[in-house]
Amino acid sequence: MAQECTHIENAISFVTLPPGPLRCEECVNKGMSWVHLRMCTKCGHVGCCDSSPGRHATNHFRSTNHPIIKSAEPGEEWYWCFVDEVAFAMKQVQ
């Protein structure tokens, strides 16, 4: 059964990645390393993915309730809603 995100209109202000090189500031501050980066589409926060030890993108959602992240990896154009636990692509956003 297809599940849809109900937060797209309110939670997407940032779709363009900030100028690189991107980094997870929280990992940098703690001397940790990350695997992949995700950008919060509500405020532009960049954090690391759940495969990274810090899981700072998920931590950002838990502390701010900003529901949607975009992959910050080059060439990747997918989004993920933490609340609905659904992934979707750019064409559904525009």
Per CB under 5 A, residues contacting Zn ion are 5, 7, 24, 26-27, 34, 40, 42-43, 45, 48, 54, 56, 64, 66, 81, 83-84
Find where tokens 């910050």 sit: 72
Distance (Å, whole) CA 53 – CA 66: 21
Distance (Å, whole) CA 6 – CA 42: 14
Cβ at position 53, least distance to Zn ion in Å: 8
Instruction: Return the number of the residue (59 or 76) whose C-beta is nearest Zn ion.
Output: 59
Strands of the sheet with 46-48, listed across from one edge: 46-48, 37-40, 68-71, 78-81, 86-89
Cβ at position 74, least distance to Zn ion in Å: 18
Instruction: Return the number of the residue (77 or 87) whose C-beta is nearest Zn ion.
Output: 87
Instruction: Return the number of the residue (64 or 92) whose C-beta is nearest Zn ion.
Output: 64
- Identity at 64, one-letter amino acid code: T
